[in-house]
Amino acid sequence: MIRVLLVLAIAVFAPLQAQTPYGIGYRLAMSRPASHLFEVTIDVSVPANDSSGFIDFQMPKWQPGRYAVANFAANVQEFKAQSQTRNLVWTKIDDQTWRVQRQGNRTLTATYKVFGNDLSGTYAQLDFGHATYTGGEIFMYVAGHKADPVELHVEPPPNWRVVNGRIERPNQRDWQYPNYDLLIDNPTEIGPDWTLDEFRVDGKTYRIVVHSRGDEGGRRPALVRDVEKIVRAEIRMWGPPEFDSYTFLFHFAADDRSSDGMEHLTSTHIIEPGILAERHTYANAVSTAAHEFFHAWNVKRLRPVEFGPWDLTRPAATRALWIAEGFTQYYGMLMYYRAGVEEPEGFLQNLSDTIATIENSPASKLMSAEASSMAAPFIDTAVHRQRTNLSNTSLSYYLKGELIALNLDLLIRGWTRGQRSLDDVMRRAYDEFYLKSPNASYYLKGRGYSIEDFARVVSEVAGRDMTDWFARYIRGVDLLPYDEALATVGLRLVKSPAYLPYTAGIVIDRDDRQSLRLGALHTNSPAERGGLQEGDVLLSIAGTNVSRENWQSVINRYKKGDRVAVTVRRFRRSMDLSIVLEEPDVFDYRIEEIPNVTAQARALRTAWLQGK
């Protein structure tokens, strides 16, 4: 009994002793771009009083901003550890950790290569044209010493130049970071032909770095001007940002595939699949910039309590992504408009489209905003080997969060007769949790907020207790109060049967190009009730042989209440089934003006759209 107690006491008190920092230096080379192999060297020096027998080098399982598990260790090869010239014994102890025996040495060097050939905000790419990375996908950390200061030296190929969001001088190749978490928060571009434009706002420098793999059509000066408008609109709302310089790193990939936007403390990495010369690619780049720059406040500094320091051994779990991403989605759209880059009709059209996506989704009645946030590791571009029901059960915390923000913003404006808005909620939360709270960890200024903290700030700004509202709309799946919210600014939501053809809940598997195989059917739909199931191959509807092109038009010859014969092939036999058609369950949504609105509603709408 006593022994057990003694062990417990040690276990409880041991983590409180601060570990003496290690000296940790990274070197990054890329001598053979065609191999897609980054060459990483980590030099570690251990203080004399450190008695540990080994050092664990750990590859992150994921990295901040993308919540699906990535397992970066899968791309590590040729790991070695040495002290002076002697090889050290190492063992792989789990799927992300290389344990090196020190054998009495105080300095040692680990080297390895990492394959990278994805242009993304999460993965790295090295090829003939450039090297680009975020950090967590190529740099291992020393377990137990993530908080220690680290150095980085980059050795580019001849004639390639290095740029990132922490540049202090031209041709910089060496950086110092207060800790590993900040090392991997600095996406870096290394190549021969990126361009740099700059502008200044309120004494701070903004850089626009562009690497185009296709024609720019002379649009780069316009891009710089429009990004500056966005920067000014967002600073007008938030006040002065907490950085000296900020870098927008754009890739125009020209591969019709690579697409991303990733937020960081002093930069963002935006990847468009098209070329800058295209109008829609240009528009997407600017609106993504509006979203990502908003993250310089919301998520990177004003952050959920779980967001840093990062535990990179298991996925992050927070209930607050509908704030972190959803509110950013809302303000990204709004700022795009407030900056004068977008027409008001486009903004309202975007909101209507989001409402249609959320309200037509079967998951809107199953998954709350909080639950969606907790499901992020499964839905944020996660890859699944097992079949899932996520198409029926999962909802986007981006879009649901955007609609929660819309409703809260308009309701607060209405309840306070235009005195306050969601802008005040964001400013007050930023002030309290980031600017004014004592530092909770080595990672960053201030502390993260809990959902309860955030709900309290909303209640204070709204001037009423919002506990019940949060229970219904955030934790629950009640239909958001669109009518009340939109009426505040003289608008209303009009719902009408969808223009889209009726499907009776049938979903065709997009991956099977050979046959008309069914994917996950809509839950509780006529197709499901009629006995169809995922994996069946659809042969005929009402006696007509069907194809990818005609199956919807065949079903739409019939109307609600009709019983329609369906033949499918299942387990190499054909089966005759029938489905009873119902009312269409998909609707179009449109936001329109209420005729003859009051002067007050009109004034509130102007204040909302213009940011007052």
Q: Which residues would be at the binding site for Zn ion (CB under 5 A)?
A: 130, 132, 189, 191, 211, 325, 328
Q: Report the SS3 class of residue 316.
A: coil
Q: How far apart are CB 194 and Zn ion at their closest, in Å?
A: 6
Nearest CB to Zn ion, comparing residues 316 and 489 = 316
Nearest CB to Zn ion, comparing residues 290 and 371 = 290
Q: How far apart are CB 64 and Zn ion at their closest, in Å?
A: 11
Q: Which of 162, 167, 166 is nearest to 211 (CA)?
A: 162
The two three-digit tokens of residue 84, written as one number: 């002076």
What residue type is 236 in one-letter code?
Answer: R
Nearest CB to Zn ion, comparing residues 37 and 119 = 119
Pairwise CA distance, residues 233 & 338, whole Å: 7
Nearest CB to Zn ion, comparing residues 211 and 447 = 211
Pairing assessment for the beta strands 195-201 and 573-580 based on DSSP bridges: unpaired
Q: How far apart are CB 473 and Zn ion at their closest, in Å?
A: 21
Largest CA distance in the chain: 84
Nearest CB to Zn ion, comparing residues 189 and 342 = 189
Pairwise CA distance, residues 155 & 161, whole Å: 10
Instruction: State phi, psi for 263 to the nearest 5 degrees.
Output: -90, 145
Query: How many helices (H) and strands (E) in the chain?
Result: 18, 26
Cβ proximity of 174 and 224 under 8 Å: no
Q: Report the SS3 class of residue 297.
A: coil
What residue type is 199 in one-letter code?
Answer: F
Q: How far apart are CB 480 and Zn ion at their closest, in Å?
A: 21
Q: How far apart are CB 269 and Zn ion at their closest, in Å?
A: 10
State the CB neighbour count (10 A cutoff) for residue 498: 15
The two three-digit tokens of residue 198, written as one number: 């700059």
Nearest CB to Zn ion, comparing residues 133 and 589 = 133
Nearest CB to Zn ion, comparing residues 211 and 264 = 211
Q: How far apart are CB 190 and Zn ion at their closest, in Å?
A: 8
Can the peptide bond before residue 309 be classed as cis, meaning omega within 30 degrees of 0?
Answer: yes
Q: Which of 276, 235, 233 is nearest to 253 (CA)?
A: 276
The two three-digit tokens of residue 580, written as one number: 């009873």
Q: How far apart are CB 336 and Zn ion at their closest, in Å?
A: 14
Cβ proximity of 337 and 481 under 8 Å: no
Q: How far apart are CB 286 and Zn ion at their closest, in Å?
A: 15
Instruction: State phi, psi for 274 to the nearest 5 degrees.
Output: -95, -155
Nearest CB to Zn ion, comparing residues 66 and 517 = 66
Instruction: State phi, psi for 245 to the nearest 5 degrees.
Output: -145, 160
Cβ proximity of 430 and 302 under 8 Å: yes
Nearest CB to Zn ion, comparing residues 58 and 288 = 288
What residue type is 441 in one-letter code?
Answer: S
Nearest CB to Zn ion, comparing residues 189 and 260 = 189
Pairwise CA distance, residues 587 & 382, whole Å: 29
Token look-up 């387990």 returns 571
Q: How far apart are CB 327 and Zn ion at their closest, in Å?
A: 10
Q: How far apart are CB 227 and Zn ion at their closest, in Å?
A: 17
